[in-house]
Every structure is written in structure tokens, then in C-alpha cells.
């Protein structure tokens, strides 16, 4: 078997120039951090998610101005297959391609299994798992036409281990890891990769609010909440950052990661090493 070797070169600063990336759940938090990283690498961005219309429009304009890329927004509802289909179709119609798909949309609800609201179970499975099935199946034809595709599923440490009272979230994230493996196997010879990123706790405004709330509720310091409550499972005792997740996503989207597919990559400070 002959294997042609490509000369080693440093990764260009705009490694994703000319690519189009769609990031679900990207109007804030982890998704927005990933969208910014992809934009910084030169990709045109399609945002998606909830929020105030004027603020989303401002975010879109800032991305375009700061990074010199095209940025658009889809209000698609991740619980509605028809809405998801319209988003994918509009992206391809506008750009003629869809190179990078980041399935990040997700919600959480905590309750004992026998008291878990059925409507919450259905909603979490729809947004956290089923939406990724729909985006992936609809994006694959365009990726196959172009001979290139990167699907990056934002799972969780809870896609690898369980925790009490998070039945729907843990089930959905384990499902995402399984979907990642199947997608990788089905596209392995087509220039398309699919990987799952499995973060532990990531520092976002939502987590910051949890820190303050827990500290007040239990009458303990912020540091105690961070170390002994939120990060009790993370040996490194520090939050991951959205910038770290963005940088990893960019790497997985480049040619340098062409042989990485079907993995569930923990970014959890050693949580799942237990």
C-alpha cells in the first residue's frame, strides 16, 4: 500500500477560511465561545439559539466586524424537525455549502427519576439528542458533495459517567456519544469526521450565577462552593473555559484532525479518569 506523505507545515492562522460553520445553541455561553473561535479561524458563521433579537443581531454584527467573516442567524427551534430542516436548507442555499456542524444546543433539569416530569424528559431528549440527529442527517448530503465535513457534538462528562437526579441529561449525552460513533463509521471514507467533546464544568455566566446562589443558600464562601460542590468531581479543581472548548473545536475542524473520528474526548480536569 502506497501512502503519500504531505510535507509538515504550521497550521495557518485562518485555517478555516472559506468554510461555513453552523453552531446550534450559540447565542451565549459555550456555543458563542465556539462560534467566536471558528470565526477567528476564518469560517463564516451561522448562529442559532434563544435570546433578545436586538442582542443577537449585535452579536452577529460584532462577529462579522471583528473577524472579517459573514455571520448570519437562524431562530430555528431545536424541538421541531421542520424548523431544523429549514435552517439547514437556508444555510446551504445561502452559502452553497455547510462544512462544519457543531451540535451544542442543550438544556438541563434535575429531579429524582420517579418524580422526573415527563414533559421535561421529552424536551431534554428532543433538544440535547434528537436535534443532533436531524442536523446531522440533513447536513451530510452537502458535506458528501464537497468531500469534506466536520461534525462536532458537544456532549458532556455525563456522556461517559452518570450522576443522580439527571436521568434525561445523562441519557441524552450518552446517546450523543453513540450517535457520534455511528456517524463516524458511516462517513469514514468520505472526508468527513464526527467527534464528541465531553466537558466537565465550564465557566459561563450561568455557572457564575449558580456559584452565588449556592453560596447564599448554604452560607458558605464562593471558594467552598467551587471546590466542594461544583468541582467536587474534577481533580484539577478548575473550570474549563469556553476559549479552551473553542480552540479544541477549531482543531477538530481542521485538516490536522483528519484522522481523528469517532472519539469522545473528555475536557473535564480528570473527572472521568476516576
Other Cβ atoms closer than 10 A to 241: 16
Question: What's the count of helices (H) and strands (E) in the chain, helices before strands?
Answer: 9, 9
Other Cβ atoms closer than 10 A to 117: 11
**Whether the Cβ atoms of residue 154 and residue 104 lie closer than 8 Å to each other:** yes
Q: Residue 154 half-sphere exposure, CB side, CA atoms within 13 Å?
A: 31
Other Cβ atoms closer than 10 A to 11: 12
Active site residue 73: no
- The span from the CA of 64 to the CA of 274, in Å, is 42
- Give the Cα-Cα-Cα angle 205, 65, 135 (nearest 5 degrees): 65
- The span from the CA of 76 to the CA of 88, in Å, is 9
Active-site residue, from 73, 169, 201, 203: 169
- The span from the CA of 176 to the CA of 196, in Å, is 8
- The span from the CA of 169 to the CA of 120, in Å, is 10
Give me the active site residues, please: 169
Amino acid at each position: 500500500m502506497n501512502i503519500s506523505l504531505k510535507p509538515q507545515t504550521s497550521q495557518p492562522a485562518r485555517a478555516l477560511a472559506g468554510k461555513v460553520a453552523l453552531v446550534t445553541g450559540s447565542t451565549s455561553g459555550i456555543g458563542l465561545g465556539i462560534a467566536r473561535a471558528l470565526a477567528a479561524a476564518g469560517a463564516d458563521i451561522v448562529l442559532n439559539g434563544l435570546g433578545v433579537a436586538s442582542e443577537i443581531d449585535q452579536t452577529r454584527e460584532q462577529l462579522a466586524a471583528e473577524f472579517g467573516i459573514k455571520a448570519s442567524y437562524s431562530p430555528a427551534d431545536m424541538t421541531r424537525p421542520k424548523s431544523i430542516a429549514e435552517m439547514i436548507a437556508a444555510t446551504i442555499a445561502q452559502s452553497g455549502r455547510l462544512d462544519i456542524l457543531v451540535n451544542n444546543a442543550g438544556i438541563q433539569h434535575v429531579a429524582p427519576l420517579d418524580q422526573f416530569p415527563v414533559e421535561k424528559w421529552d424536551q431534554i431528549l428532543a433538544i440535547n439528542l434528537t436535534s443532533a440527529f436531524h442536523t446531522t442527517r440533513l447536513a451530510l448530503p452537502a458535506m458528501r458533495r464537497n468531500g469534506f465535513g466536520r461534525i462536532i457534538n458537544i456532549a458532556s462528562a455525563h456522556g461517559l459517567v452518570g450522576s443522580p437526579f439527571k436521568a434525561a441529561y445523562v441519557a441524552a449525552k450518552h446517546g450523543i456519544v453513540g450517535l457520534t460513533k455511528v456517524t463516524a463509521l458511516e462517513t469514514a471514507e468520505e472526508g468527513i469526521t464526527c467527534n464528541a467533546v465531553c466537558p466537565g464544568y465550564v465557566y459561563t455566566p450561568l455557572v457564575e450565577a449558580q456559584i452565588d446562589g449556592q453560596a447564599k443558600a448554604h452560607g458558605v464562601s464562593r471558594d467552598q462552593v467551587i471546590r466542594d460542590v461544583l468541582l467536587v468531581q474534577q481533580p484539577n479543581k478548575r473550570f474549563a473555559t469556553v476559549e479552551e472548548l473553542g480552540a479544541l473545536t477549531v482543531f477538530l475542524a481542521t485538516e490536522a484532525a483528519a484522522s481523528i473520528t469517532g472519539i469522545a474526548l473528555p475536557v473535564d480536569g480528570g473527572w472521568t479518569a476516576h
